């Protein structure tokens, strides 16, 4: 059972790795170039826009939205591009994006806790590598880039990095990143 599988089944899983951290600053026109440099494998992304939340896939070359829509970077307030080994997290600061890139590497040096949180809604539709989760009572839905495993519920695995404050000696979470969208094998009742 992988660490991600353990996190999903038990809720929390402690692990250790080396963490590579790099601050990033870019314009919207530079974003896909930076993604090509940082992600040799495909990755998922989520962007918080002025009017909605948009999910998609980065295929190693460009960002793909459902139904081949083009991303509108000018509407983005925040975004996370992630896979099991890395994440780029950016927030808009005027005309540019500012944030950080984290990549996990083999070895020791940084402790983390993987957690799994079920996303709201039930799977109501799927096409190819996309599923739609709908929360009928609230009349809202979202379409996620995730293969349909026939499960009713899905969730987000998050990696929470542990660090300590040198002045106080207290430890706690110092950063976190998204890791994967996975089926939830429990109904939450």
The DSSP code sequence of 161-182 is EEEE-TTT--EEEEEEEEEEEE
Distances (CA, A) of 136 to 106, 124, 143, 173: 43, 10, 14, 34
Span 58-62, average pLDDT: 89
Higher pLDDT, 106 or 81: 81
Contact 50, 76 (CB under 8 A): no
Span 8-24, average pLDDT: 79
Residue 107 CA to residue 81 CA, distance in Å, equals 23
Half-sphere exposure of 99 (CA within 13 A, CB side): 23
Whether pLDDT at 188 is above 60: no
Higher pLDDT, 65 or 89: 89
- Averaged confidence pLDDT in the chain: 87
Whether pLDDT at 1 is above 50: no
Residue for token pair 């379409």: 143
User: What is residue 148's three-state secondary structure?
Assistant: coil
The domain locations on the chain are 3-184
Span 97-117, average pLDDT: 89
Each residue of 125-162: pLDDT tens digit?
988 889 999 999 999 999 999 988 888 999 999 999 99
Span 89-109, average pLDDT: 91
Number of H helices, E strands in the chain: 2, 12
Residue 160 CA to residue 154 CA, distance in Å, equals 19
Q: Is the dihedral of CA 25, 27, 28, 34 positive or negative?
A: negative
Tell me what pLDDT residue 108 has. Answer: 73
The DSSP code sequence of 48-80 is EESS-EEEEEE-SSSEEEGGGPPP-GGGEEEEE
Q: Lowest-pLDDT range, 8-17, 26-35, 91-100?
A: 8-17
Contact 11, 187 (CB under 8 A): no
Tell me what pLDDT residue 5 has. Answer: 52
């Amino acid at each position: 059972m992988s660490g991600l599988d353990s996190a999903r089944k038990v809720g929390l899983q402690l692990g250790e790795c080396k963490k590579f951290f790099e601050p990033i600053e870019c314009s919207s026109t530079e974003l896909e170039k930076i993604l090509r440099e940082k992600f040799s494998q495909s990755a998922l992304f989520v962007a918080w826009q002025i009017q909605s939340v948009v999910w998609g896939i980065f295929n190693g070359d460009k960002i793909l939205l459902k139904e081949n829509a083009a991303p509108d970077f000018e509407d983005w307030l925040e975004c996370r591009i992630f896979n099991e080994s890395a994440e780029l997290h950016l927030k808009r600061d005027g005309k540019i994006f500012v944030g950080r890139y984290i990549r996990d590497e083999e070895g020791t040096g940084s402790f983390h806790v993987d957690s799994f949180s079920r996303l709201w809604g039930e799977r109501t539709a799927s096409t190819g590598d996309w599923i739609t989760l709908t929360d009928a009572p609230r009349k809202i839905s979202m379409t996620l880039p995730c293969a349909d495993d026939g499960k009713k519920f899905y969730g987000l695995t998050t990696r929470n990095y542990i660090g300590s404050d040198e002045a106080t000696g207290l430890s706690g979470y110092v950063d976190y990143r998204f890791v994967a969208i996975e089926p939830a094998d429990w109904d939450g009742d």
